[in-house]
Amino acid sequence: MTDSRWAHSPRIVEAMRRAAELADRVRGSTSPNPPVGCVILDEAGSVVGSGATRPPGGPHAEVVALREAGSSARGGTAVVTLEPCAHVGRTGSCAVALREAGVARVVYAVEDPNPSAAGGAEELANSGVAVADGVLAEEVSAGALRGWLHFVRNGRPHVTWKYAASLDGRSAAVDGTSQWISSPESRAEVHRLRAGCDAVLAGTGTVQADDPRLTVRDESGAPLRRQPLRVVLGDRELPAGARVFDDSAETLRLRGRDPGEALRVLAERGVVEVFLEGGPTLAGAFLRAGLIDRVQAFVAPALLGSGRSALGEAGVVSLSQAWRFYFERVTMCGPDVWISAVPVEG
């Protein structure tokens, strides 16, 4: 679709940002469906409805927003983060729902790359609805839809590797102690990042050394209602009493050491985003396989001099072989530096 001037009005841009915020709130709860946000403006440009995709089997964002808008949607504008679907599955076509509600315009940020659901924009345009795309496309693509778009385009889950380390890149001291290198502020942020993923993955070595729960907790330490799938990868035997096997969340035990095979199994389960919290060995294996799509690093203002490195063998013997990333975001998190980095393409 070709952008129109009306699609970039301040009210519509503001509505798109609001839709993106709504989508971000449900990220991690909609898989394998995309986390989408929608805002409905009436003919005068006022917000009369908003919503985000519900968990699988529930209504999509457009339907939630239309229900809230009611008759006020007629003649108005639907602002959606992803092209409305033309697919009829467990729920009906969003394109049909928008058309039947009588909206006059539909603006979306990102074209749907899923061939089984795409085509909604064309269907709407053919029925006389004014359609425009590309509004805040880059911003929306890098937000809640990032993992889902990667999943659809690449056929495997999006992998974020998180680590906390000292200034000299150590994740633990010589005696093995690692709690806590990072600050309470960084640890709270990690829980928010976990909450947006479908699965948290760690290796058997990390489970043996740290006995983590791999759950998501709020600032008071209470577990959230929705918990990502906990995944433990590796061949080492683990004690039955390990906290990762408690009843606070579901745990999947995967034997073997092949990151690609692990992601294949998770993709079959509808896992779209994986949060990799494994130790240096597992992180190195994923990096060697080219399967790290984003790094979230929390660097503490401390020096250890020796101890466990944050990253193990990564297949690099010469500087020319270094895995190159670029910083998409660098900010302070309490006393720590929080770095978000993605691979340099090519």
Is 259 labelled a binding residue? no
Active-site residue 219, yes or no? no
238 — phi, psi (to 5°)?
-120, 150
Is 252 annotated to bind a ligand? Reply is no
Question: Any known ligand binding at 155?
Answer: no
Distances in Å between the Cα of 9 and the Cα atoms of 15, 42, 112, 132, 135 are: 10, 14, 23, 12, 10
Count of alpha carbons within 13 Å of 87, Cβ hemisphere only? 16
Any known ligand binding at 85? yes
67 marked ligand binding residue: no
Q: Which of 14, 21, 62, 250 is catalytic?
A: 62
DSSP state of 179: T
**DSSP structure class, residue 315:** S
| Strands 105-110 and 130-133, bridge-based pairing | parallel
255 is in an annotated binding site: no
Q: What is the DSSP secondary-structure string of 234-274?
A: SSS---TT-GGGSTTS-EEEE-SS-HHHHHHHHHHTT--EE
Q: Is 214 annotated as a binding residue?
A: yes
Residue 91 assigned to a binding site: no
Known binding residue 333? Answer is no
**279 assigned to a ligand binding site:** yes
**Distance separating alpha carbons of residues 337 and 245, to the nearest angstrom:** 32
Check whether 300 is labelled as a binding-site residue: no
Flag whether 98 is marked binding. no
DSSP assignment string, 10-62:
HHHHHHHHHHHHHHHHHTTSSTTS---EEEEE-TTS-EEEEEEPPSTTS--HH
- Please, what is the end-to-end C-alpha distance for the chain in angstroms? 29
| Cα–Cα nearest to 111, from 83, 78, 138, 147 | 83
Name the residue with tokens 């089997």: 57
Please check if 195 is assigned to a binding site.
no
204 is in an annotated binding site: no
Is 197 marked within a binding site?
no
Q: Beta 294-299 vs 336-343: how paired, if at all?
A: antiparallel
Residues 177, 182: Cα–Cα separation, whole Å: 12
In the three-class reduction of DSSP (H, G, I as helix; E, B as strand; rest coil), residue 70 is classed as helix
Element (H, E) at 297: strand 294-299
Annotated binding site for Zn(2+): 60, 85, 94
Question: What residues act catalytically?
Answer: 62
Annotated binding site: 60, 85, 94, 164, 178, 180, 194, 206, 210, 214, 217, 277, 279-285
Annotated binding site for NADP(+): 164, 180, 210, 279-285
Annotated binding site for substrate: 178, 194, 206, 214, 217, 277
